[in-house]
Structure 1
Amino acid sequence: MAIENTSVSVTEALRRAKSVLETISLTIVGEVSECTVKPGYKAVYFSLSDDSSVLPCLMWRDSYDLCGFALRPGMLVEVSGVFTAYAAKGRMQFQVRRLTAAGEGVLRLQVAALARKLEAEGLMRAERKRELPAFPSKIALVTSPRGKAVHDVIRTLRRRYPVAELLIAGVQVEGEGAVSALTEGIRLAGSHPGVELLILARGGGSYEDLMPFNAEQVARAVAACPVPVVTGIGHEPDDSIADMVADCRASTPTAAAEAAAPATMEIVSRLDAMARLLGKALSHSVIERAHRLRLIAHRPVFRDATCLMSARMLALDSAAEALSRALPVGIGRAAEAVGRSRDVLLRVGPKLTERPRIALGDASRRIAQQGPAFMERATGQWTLQAARLEDLSPLAILARGFAVCYDGAGERVLRSAGDVTAGDRVRVRLAEGELGCVVERADTEV
């Protein structure tokens, strides 16, 4: 490149540099280290970096809003654009025309979309999360049988809460097939008889290694688990989807075991506190009852038992005295009333009985005169009615040689030969007596 001898101004130098730079179009992959997105700004400013360099970038706001995600430090992105120079400050920067997530960034966007979906369904609501049992008798652990996490949990539970029974479901926690293995492990361990709490754990790893715990199937298995779930996944500050759905999230497997089971000293402390409260309550109850007993013991009835009956004895004496005074007076008044009634009856009695006596004499004479003729007519009528009833009586029909046939039990009258078959037993009622018969032949046509 030829070097010009002509001097130019700073502005002209920057203009020429800009014109050259803007002819270079590149696609760059880097990690977002700084990002400034402010309302009202027409551009978004951020920096991309790698192990040794930092590149200032800008992107016009309308293009940024179309990329579909928000930038944040630590995100790996792929940008396409051109270099440009800012003449006012003499600074070079990369003007981004296209922005996409790269590598882990794509995974994070997928996880964020799933988190929003599950949150909209209510799986992350605080009121849905269940309280952990204070003293679980049986705990299930779903983790890799060969990782460090299983030993951390076992060691912590033995130290803090050795009385709990531990059920270990060893499953694959990363790689192909981990999602289905975790889902099935949670389902089986959570429904195992006697299990009161489930721990889902694994050791640290890269974001990609932890992706099975961000799977929708695993999250739904955690939400559907019949017992509370405590998660201790990795050592990263980012929460997995399983952490968000679980009833309790711990940062490590060890912390998950500590959250799931109380320490032995904590149990002893609780028992001591309960014993003190019980002692205070018992002492208060004894003091209160002793006070009540003293009050009762000082009542007059316990000092002199006769005072319990004295009031009633006085009342009984008063009643007896009143009765003794009132009885002679009452008897005298009743005797006077009886005497007055007797005098009235003696004066009025003959007049009251004379009219009924005359009426009774007249009735006796009429009966003596008309009685025989009335009895004769009544006897004739009764004889005629009896003869008519005799003619209508079923017994009179039987007396003329007819009979009534019943079934073997004698409960139903047989009106047709079709009601029986040969060999059936029947009962025949005659005018005098009854026959038990066996049917030899039954013909409905005669």
Structure 2
Amino acid sequence: MNLDLSSPSKAVVSVTQLNRDVRMLLETGFPSLWVAGEISNFKRYDSGHCYFSLKDANAQVRCVMFRGRAALLDFAPREGLQVEVRAVVSLYEARGDFQLTIEAMRMAGQGALFERFEALKKQLAAEGLFANERKQALPHFPRRIGIVTSPAAAALRDVLTTLARRMPNIEIILYPTAVQGADAAKQIARAIAQAASRNEVDTLIICRGGGSLEDLWSFNEEIVARAIAACPIPTVSGVGHETDFTMADFVSDVRAPTPTAAAELVSPNRAELLQRLSQLKQRQLRVLQYQLQQRMQQLDQLARRLIHPGQRLSQQKTDLHNQARRLQQAMRFSQQQRTQALARQALQLSYARPNPTLIRPVLQQKQQRLQRAIQRMLEQRQQYLKQAQLQLMPWDPQQVLSRGYALVSRPNGQIVRSALAVRAGDALQVRFADEQISVEVRQGIIQQPELEL
């Protein structure tokens, strides 16, 4: 903001304008930066926004963290907690309060540790230690469960209490180790290797209670991660609270949000199993009772159908007697039916049989009529024949021959119709009205030469 003091009217600005210009100057003049301090006067409103002060030994500054950013935190901010925040320097215009608008928050000292955590996580992931293919399934009914933790840890009491409540008959073997401190990571790895070499448990729980990132750092060491990866026993990681994630969680076969949850994952619920067994027992009893009732009914039905052999023979004898009586009745009825049918047919035939005394005069009359008809027909045919003879008589060859004609033919019967067909030396047959003679031609007809005109 540029103020021109030479003109009094231009130098006068409103408070609103002043605060706005100062806010713009702060937000543009300072980049986003990390600030370390202790949380004081922390309040989270129903809206989800968080308001607090960040202080050190000599100063403090007001801070605001809006709901969207606060929801991304993996821990719960509280009074007196040492944190590091990434913030934008700003000004609350309504009251002119200098404040920091928080964009991210982490536990104090987590920057370097977080970088180490991310680097190791990336390395182990590249080696395949987090791959699902190498994860083992937990046994449904383990006989022994191993626990890698401190004997004085509250997490051990939680796990033992949960296991005793859920399945008290499971044997527990403790592999004691420190879970916090400079040498804790080596002790944890040694305890895991001991459990693997002894191979006396079905499932191994690696657990401890909640704490800061530094408190849980032993479970982020590479030696612990590789010991878990090399363990042939199915492993369950139950380190810290639900929002805490360690390298052990990623390498283990199963990650539990808390030690108590780890105990619940590895142990079947005895009460639920007993209830389930009771339900199965009741169901089986109902099934058996139903089947028994069905078989009893079937037995009763078979018993009703079962008949003594003597009674069966008596029944069959009665049935045979009834069948014989019915057969005799049927035969008599059939004979009666046929007798009646034969009588009806005989009556019908008696009506159809002719009476010779009545029919003989009729037959004689018809015989006389037939003889007269035949006689008339013969006379008519004779008359027709005579007329036909008279009509054919002029065409009779014999009649022609009797008038002086002769019929000339060759020996084979072929008629000679012209003298031109005859040659000297031909043998001919000449038939007269009364006889036939054979002749030989001595001279044929001499043909006259045709005159030329």
If the length of structure 2 is used for normalisation, what is the TM-score? 0.46
Specify the structure having the higher radius of gyration (Cα): 2
If the length of structure 1 is used for normalisation, what is the TM-score? 0.47
